[in-house]
């Protein structure tokens, strides 16, 4: 995932079995809620990417612990 400096354009590059795909999105209003790290790189999973696309800041949301029954 690449986001420009103004945080209004995002490009996502991913691979499929048949080749690479490039997906882009440009906002007419607002900015993508991404924060850059010191190195400029961060690992995201699919749910984190969906939160960014929906406009939800990942820093403010928290993942709840789920109960697992040990048998």
Domain containing 15 equals 2-54
Q: Is residue 42 part of a domain?
A: yes
Instruction: Name the percent of the chain lying above pLDDT 90.
Output: 8
Backbone angles phi, psi at 27, to 5 degrees: -90, 140
Query: CB–CB of 10/17 below 8 Å?
Result: no
Q: How many domains does the chain have?
A: 1
Mind listing the pLDDT tens digit for each residue in 6-35? 888 989 888 889 999 998 988 888 887 776
Q: Is residue 48 part of a domain?
A: yes
Where residue 38 falls among pLDDT bands split at 50, 70, 90? low
Q: Is residue 15 part of a domain?
A: yes
Q: Is residue 61 part of a domain?
A: no
pLDDT of residue 71: 66
pLDDT higher than threshold 80 for residue 61: no
| Average pLDDT value for the chain | 77
**Residue whose token pair is 């790189």:** 41
pLDDT of residue 30: 83
């Amino acid at each position: 995932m690449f986001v420009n400096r103004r945080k209004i354009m995002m490009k996502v590059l991913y691979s499929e079995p048949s080749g690479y795909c490039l997906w882009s999105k440009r906002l007419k209003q607002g900015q993508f809620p991404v924060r850059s790290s010191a190195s400029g790189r961060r690992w995201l999973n699919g749910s984190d990417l969906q939160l960014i696309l929906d406009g939800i800041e990942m820093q403010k949301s928290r993942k709840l612990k789920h109960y697992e029954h040990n048998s």
